[in-house]
Every structure is written in C-alpha cells, then in structure tokens.
C-alpha cells in the first residue's frame, strides 16, 4: 500500500481501435450483496476486479458467504439467504469505497449481530449522516465520529427496524439503496422519494432476484415481505470508465473508437447527452437488454466541441463523469458552466477544487464556484498535477494529455486501482502516450 504511482503523459496522440472497458462498479457491488442474500447459487459475469468491488466481496466473505473467484470476471456466490449472514470476526475494512460503506450500513442495521465499518483516509472523511440519520429514524443504532464520519459502529437491530417514508434532500443512489436494503428488514413499508432520478441498479437487480419493489414516479417502496432467488448476472462495461475514452476520442483530432458492451441505463447516460450537446460525435449502436439492463456499443469520432451551460437535470445522471467532462470543456470553444453540482465536493476528493487547481496549473482558465465550475476553453499546457488519491482525477488528467502542448505529470495515482486497474494499459493501447512510475 505504501507504493506511490505517478503517471506521465507525453503530449498529443489520438484514440483508435476498439475496446471493452471493465465491468460496472455499481452493479458489481450490488451483485455481491444481493447474490449473498439470495437462496441458491448466483453466477456473475463481467464482475469488476478492482479494489472497491473487491472490498465488498471481502466483506461478505467475512460474514460467512462462500464466493468462488473472481476468475476473468466470473464469480460463483453461494447465497446464504436474507437471514444467513454471520457476525464477522473483525471490522469490515472498505478501503476507498463509499458505495460499500453506505449500502452496507443499511443492510447491516437490521442484522442480528453488530459490525464496525472502516475505510481509508478519504472514505473516513466523507459524510455518513446522509445515511445514519434516516436509518436512525427507522430505529437503527449507528455510532459515527462527532463529524458524522466513519468508523461506523452498527448495533444490529434484527426485527426492530420500522419502515419510513423518506423524502431525500439530495439526489443520491447510495442513500436510496441503503434505505431499500434496510427496508428489506423493517416492519411495514419503507419508501424513498428522490428529488431527481439517480441510478436505479438496486431496484432493477432486486427485481431480477424476484424481490418485490414498487416504483411510482419518483418514489420506490419495499417491505420485508420477500426473499431473493439466485440469478445469473451479466455485468456490462462501466459507462463511467468508458467516459474517459469518450472524452479522449472527442477531443483528439483523428480519433475513431468503438467501445463495446457498455451499460447505457438511462440513469447513467448524462455523459453522452452532455458531450452531444457540446457537439461530440457519438453513435449508440446495437442497443440490447442484458439481464434487465440496457447495453450498447458506443462509436465515437473526433469532433470539435463548443462550450455550453450544462443543464442541471443532467447532473445526477453524469455525477461521476465531471472530472473528465471538465477536460472536455477545457478543449471546447467558448465557455462551459456547471451549476447544481455541489455533491462533487464530497466525492473521493473535492472534485471541484482539485480539478480547478489542476487545470489552472495546466494554464486553463477554470474558476471553481460553490456548486460547479466555469471553464473557458483554450490551449492546455503541461505541468505537474496532484490527483489527491482520487482515481477519476488521475484518469482525467491522463486524457488531458491528448491535447496538451507539453508533458503532464500526475501524482498520487495508486487509487486508479479502485475502479479501473487496466486503465494504463488500455489507455496506452488506444493511443494515450502514458507511462507509469512506481516508487
Ligand atoms: C453510486 C452512486 C453515486 C456515485 C458513486 C456510485 C452507487 O453516488 O457517485 O460513484 O453505486 O450507488 P451518490 O449516490 O452519493 O451520488
């Protein structure tokens, strides 16, 4: 863990060829959680073998679930049923993974045993009250630090949780999913209403496991009255990983790239909509449904981009893609303005500040605001930037190299392994002039 990784990108290049990026992170987490709680054996294909999803996998092994693999993205999960998890011997260490911690807090609140959830420095600084407060309203007992952060000490309240009707103050799929998982153990109905649509993989996968979930407009309702039947899951490629190459091919003249088997769930496709509004040339080909989730091949060729005001309704649908969209904005003609995205300040890093700082170092006029950024497109220079341990920042600045006029050095890139360990090899193969130094 003490190894530090530095990316170095030589300027220029174009992206060509075809690739299948690794499996969707959100769905990989959920496949372990629901597969573990199911009756019977669940087979998973396309599982993301990266640190975040592996943290969830280890947590369920620690709670007594037998899981074979992963081998080439394939897993066999021997489900223990809704009430079959066992008390782990130690704390559950969830690394950098906010999804693991927030979803598990809901699931574990209603178990017959106690647990402690811990994480790395970044995860230990992220807000957890957004889950512990509504869970407390359901009767959960979870202790946090004074600041409302991890470690989370969860006293299992089996049989004692009460359903609630919760109107979420923020658009968060993690909060929604946390409460739905708690609702599987609560008396009466648990309903969550979201202020704007967020990713609905939990709802879709629950339905795929035959667990009843009711959706009426922006409200989702679940009860304890159901069980999960094992299912086969085929995880598509992660559009959040594909996004780096969608932007890369859009900004680098001469690019021509096919990204295969990408998940295009409409709650995730904001990045395509935003890039198209900016003038990108992206075609969605061969649309099909795989295991209840829409999938397509994405064909992208270079096209000059123009600055836009990003429509706020697209923010939750592209929430993880803004670091690389800021790079697209830096390469666009004119001004791009993002508003309504204050959530970016509490991701793996403060993505507004960290991206603005890095872009400014590269000579881009990028002005952070409380809830977004204003970027004037123009030339990108070289320099040394810091990713602050945030995987998506490291990968975004690698893509910026395609349009830079001098080398870019990116420090602190270890956490690329949390979501996309193959990034450096794939980026190189497709045309980014990336080398990597390990100290
Ligand atoms: C995720 C939801 C999003 C996203 C995160 C994964 C999920 O977070 O940023 O990377 O799998 O539910 P929020 O729901 O907090 O916006």
Q: How would residue 387 be classed by pLDDT, with cut points 50, 70 and 90?
A: very high
From the alpha carbon of 347, which atom of ligand 1 is closest?
A: 9
Checking if the pLDDT of 1 tops 90, the result is no
Percent with pLDDT over 70 in the chain = 100
Looking at the domain covering 5-23+236-438, what would its CATH class be? alpha beta
Protein residue whose Cα sits closest to atom 11 of ligand 1: 26
For residue 171, give the ligand 1 atom closest to its CA: 16
What is the pLDDT of the chain when averaged over all its residues? 98
Fold of 25-234: UDP-n-acetylglucosamine1-carboxyvinyl-transferase; Chain (3.65.10)
User: What pLDDT does 384 receive?
Assistant: 98
Q: Name every residue whose Cβ is closer than 8 Å to that of residue 133 and which is 6 or more positions away in sequence.
A: none
- Is pTM beyond 0.95? Reply is yes
pLDDT-derived band at 422 (thresholds 50, 70, 90) equals very high
The reply to whether domains 5-23+236-438 and 25-234 share a CATH topology is yes
Residues recognised as catalytic: 320
Report how far ligand 1's centroid is from the alpha carbon of 347 (Å): 9
Give percent of the chain with pLDDT exceeding 90.
Answer: 99
Measured by CA distance, the residue closest to atom 16 of ligand 1 is 172
Alpha carbon distances (Å) from 239 to 183, 341, 419: 29, 19, 12
174 belongs to an annotated ligand binding site: yes
Give the pLDDT confidence score for residue 3 in this predicted structure: 85
Among 48, 109, 44, smallest CA distance to 418 is for: 48
Look at residue 432 in the predicted model and tell me its pLDDT: 98
- pLDDT tens string 140-197: 999 999 999 999 999 999 999 999 999 999 999 999 999 999 999 999 999 999 999 9
User: What pLDDT digit, counting tens, does each position of 102-150 carry?
Assistant: 999 999 999 999 999 999 999 999 999 999 999 999 999 999 999 999 9
From the CA of 198, give the closest atom in ligand 1: 14
* Mean pLDDT value of segment 51-58: 98
**84-106: pLDDT as tens digits:** 999 999 999 999 999 999 999 99
User: What is the whole-number distance in angstroms between the Cα of residue 253 and the centre of ligand 1?
Assistant: 32
Ligand 1 contact via 174 beta carbon (within 6 Å): yes
Residue 49 Cβ inside 6 Å of ligand 1? The answer reads no
Gap from CA of 173 to ligand 1 centroid (Å): 5
Peptide bond into 317 cis (omega under 30): no
Residue 172 CB less than 6 A away from ligand 1: yes
For the stretch 229-278, pLDDT in tens is 999 999 999 999 999 999 999 999 999 999 999 999 999 999 999 999 99
Report the 10 Å Cβ neighbour count for 435.
12
Q: List the chain domain ranges.
A: 5-23+236-438, 25-234
Ligand 1 neighbour 199 (Cβ under 6 A) = yes
30 lines ligand 1 (CB under 6 A): no
For 304-357, what is each residue's pLDDT tens digit? Answer: 999 999 999 999 999 999 999 999 999 999 999 999 999 999 999 999 999 999
pLDDT at 71 over 80: yes
Does the Cβ of 181 fall within 6 Å of ligand 1?
no
Q: Residues 78-93, buried b or exposed e (16+ Cβ, 10 A)?
A: bbbebeebeebeeebb
pLDDT at 2: 63
**Is 25 annotated for ligand binding?**
yes
What pLDDT is recorded for position 129? 98
Query: Could you identify the residue written with the tokens 């981009």?
Result: 305
Report the nearest-CA residue for atom 9 of ligand 1.
320
Q: Is 20 annotated as a binding residue?
A: no
φ/ψ (deg, to 5) at 235? -80, 120
């Amino acid at each position: 863990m003490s190894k530090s990784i530095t990316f170095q990108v030589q300027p220029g290049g174009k992206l060509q060829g075809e690739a299948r990026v690794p499996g969707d992170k959100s769905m990989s987490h959920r496949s372990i959680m629901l597969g573990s709680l199911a009756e019977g054996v669940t087979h998973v294909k396309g599982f993301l073998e990266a640190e975040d999803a592996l943290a969830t996998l280890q947590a369920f092994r620690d709670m007594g679930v037998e899981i074979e693999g992963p081998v080439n993205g394939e897993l066999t999960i021997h489900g223990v049923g809704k009430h079959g998890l066992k008390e782990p011997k130690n704390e559950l260490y969830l690394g950098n993974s906010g999804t693991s911690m927030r979803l598990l807090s809901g699931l574990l609140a209603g178990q017959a045993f106690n647990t402690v959830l811990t994480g790395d420095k970044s995860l230990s600084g992220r807000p957890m009250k957004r889950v512990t407060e509504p869970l407390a309203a359901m009767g959960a007992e979870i202790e946090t630090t004074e600041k409302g952060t991890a470690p989370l000490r969860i006293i299992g309240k089996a049989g004692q949780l009460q359903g609630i009707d919760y109107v979420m103050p923020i658009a968060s799929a993690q909060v929604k999913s946390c409460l739905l998982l708690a609702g599987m153990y609560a008396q009466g109905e648990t309903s969550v209403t979201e202020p704007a649509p967020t990713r609905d993989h939990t709802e879709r996968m629950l339905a795929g496991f035959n667990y009843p979930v009711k959706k009426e407009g922006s409200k989702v309702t679940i009860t304890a009255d159901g069980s999960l039947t094992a299912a086969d899951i085929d995880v598509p490629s992660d559009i959040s990983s594909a996004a780096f190459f969608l932007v890369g091919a859009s900004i680098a003249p001469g690019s021509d790239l096919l990204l295969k088997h990408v998940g295009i769930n409409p709650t995730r496709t904001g990045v395509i909509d935003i890039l198209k509004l900016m003038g990108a040339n992206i075609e969605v080909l061969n649309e099909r449904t795989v295991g209840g989730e829409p999938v397509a091949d994405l064909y992208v060729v270079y096209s000059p981009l123009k600055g836009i005001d990003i429509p706020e309704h697209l923010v939750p649908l592209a929430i993880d893609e803004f670091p690389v969209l800021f790079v697209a904005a830096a390469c666009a003609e004119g001004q791009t303005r993002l508003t309504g995205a204050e959530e970016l300040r509490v991701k793996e890093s403060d993505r507004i500040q960290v991206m603005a700082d890095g872009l400014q170092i590269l000579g881009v006029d990028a002005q952070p605001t409380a809830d977004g950024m204003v970027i004037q497109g123009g030339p990108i220079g070289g320099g040394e930037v810091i990713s602050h341990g945030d995987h998506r920042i490291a990968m975004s600045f690698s893509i910026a190299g395609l349009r830079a006029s001098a080398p870019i050095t990116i420090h602190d890139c270890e956490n690329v392994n949390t979501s996309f360990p193959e990034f450096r090899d794939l980026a190189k193969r497709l045309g980014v002039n990336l080398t990597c130094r390990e100290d």
